[in-house]
Amino acid sequence: MHIKLPAKVKYIISRLEKNGYEAYAVGGCVRDSILDRIPEDWDITTSAKPEEVKKLFPATIDTGLQHGTVTVVIEKEGYEVTTFRLDGDYSDGRHPDRVAFTSSLTEDLKRRDFTINAMAYSEITGLIDRFDGEKDLEDGIIRAVGDAEERFSEDALRMLRAIRFAGQLNFDIAEKTFDAIKKLSPNISKVSVERIAKELEKLLLSGNPEYIGLVYEAGIFEVIAPEIAALFDKGEIYNSIKAVSCTSYPEKKELYQIRTALFLERLGADSAAKLLKRFKLDNDTINTVKKLIGLLQREVEASALEMRRTVKEAGHKIMPLLFEARRAKALTDSSKLYENLLVRGECTDIAGLKVNGKDLMEAGIPKGIMIGQTLERLLELVIENPELNTREGLLSEVKNNEE
């Protein structure tokens, strides 16, 4: 097995080795390299202690000295270098109470989550694979290192990570590993909602978002979102998951928003928004998902007037997302109506009116709430009759209303 290491990674490993230490690329970067995927980052594990690493490289950051991690900076790029270690007890079900450094790479690999993430590599030694991770990659299996219950008891987030990796890689989860997840699923309550939300996001953005059904099968939704578990119980969510799997979109954030809206559609807009707030998602995602769900539950536009009303409610930013969500649900395509609206330059919001608040005050409307009310009334008129959107026509309408 030969892995092409980036030049800066080779340099770090080589410098450590030349000074008498063991050093290896480790974890996800090795896994992805074997799969011919581009690693997101390169982590290095070494027998050198943090202070010894710092002496060998001129630019370092004390990322997590208590856990043995130093970030080596080369030409403004950072690479985490972590000392071989043993983890102590995990009393909070998430983090080790203490760590102890070790001179054994095997002991370091033994504490990792899954066999496919417990491989190390250097050009001198080649691949070091103590737990048959390469075979599990070949077989398409997610398997815990050693005793699965022990691994998940140490860190409950690993249960969701197992499902997320399965979705990203289109792998199966080993039977004993999944049985351990089902048994220990109540422990997911020990994990912060932010970390849970991030794993679910990665799963929904994976090539196999339908694997989110495994979160239900494992009993995890019952703990973190009973309202979603109830939809599975009633069989009301499987068409939604099918639609989720049909979506595509070039921008990652928008794809996540579309898939989340489709997945949560059966909850309704308000309940979905409450759930996403509980998971501390950003306001833009919460508001976009809420609006998409509301729009998905309306009739598809059959006229230019109906399209103008939809755009007024949705805004131009959301319209492409709505069309993709509808396509995934195999609903009627009304995008031609929208394209024609854009070509004609029809007004669908107050900013598009040919008059503004200053114009209205000059026309005699008192400053304050009446300005906003008048602009809203004018927008409604223009939605009904786009040709009225001229400065003269709107000011005439204001004057006639005053009389």
**pLDDT for position 344:** 95
**Taking the chain (403 residues) in consecutive chunks of 10 residues, what is each chunk's mean pLDDT?**
93 97 96 95 96 95 88 95 80 61 92 96 96 98 97 95 97 98 97 96 97 98 97 94 97 98 97 98 98 96 97 96 98 97 96 93 90 94 95 89 64
3-state secondary structure labels for all residues of 225-263: CHHHHHHHHCCCCHHHHHHHHHCCCCCHHHHHHHHHHHH
Task: Report DSSP letters for 90-133, one per residue.
Answer: -TTSSS-S-EEE-S-HHHHHHTSSBGGG--EEETTTEEE-TT-H
**pLDDT for position 88:** 60
Nearest to 197 by CA among 280, 274, 282, 288: 280
User: Beta strands 77-83 and 43-46: pairing type?
Assistant: parallel
**pLDDT for position 280:** 97
Dihedral angle at the C-alpha atoms of 253, 258, 264, 266, nearest 10 degrees?
Answer: 170
Judge whether 142 and 136 are in contact, CB under 8 Å. Answer: yes
Sign for the CA dihedral angle at 105, 108, 111, 114 comes to negative
* Helix, strand, coil percentages in the chain from 3-state DSSP, rounded to 5: 60, 10, 30
Express each pLDDT in 278-314 by its tens digit: 999 999 999 999 999 999 999 999 999 999 999 999 9
Task: Give pTM, 2 decimals.
Answer: 0.89
What residues pair up with 173 in beta bridges, in sequence order? Answer: 142
User: Which residues are CB-contacts of 250 (< 8 A; sequence separation ≥ 6)?
Assistant: none
**3-class DSSP assignment, residue 43:** strand
CA atoms within 13 A on the CB side of 393: 12
Sign for the CA dihedral angle at 380, 386, 391, 396 comes to negative
Express each pLDDT in 165-177 by its tens digit: 999 999 999 999 9
Nearest to 319 by CA among 345, 340, 292: 292
The number of angstroms, rounded, from the C-alpha of 21 to the middle of its chain's C-alpha atoms is 38
Judge whether 52 and 16 are in contact, CB under 8 Å. Answer: no
User: Backbone phi, then psi, for 172, in 5-degree steps?
Assistant: -95, 160
**pLDDT for position 98:** 65
Question: For the chain, how far is it from start to end, CA to CA, in angstroms?
Answer: 86
Q: Alpha-carbon distance 103 to 85, whole Å?
A: 8
Q: Alpha-carbon distance 217 to 219, whole Å?
A: 5
Express each pLDDT in 202-221 by its tens digit: 999 999 999 999 999 999 99
**pLDDT for position 87:** 72
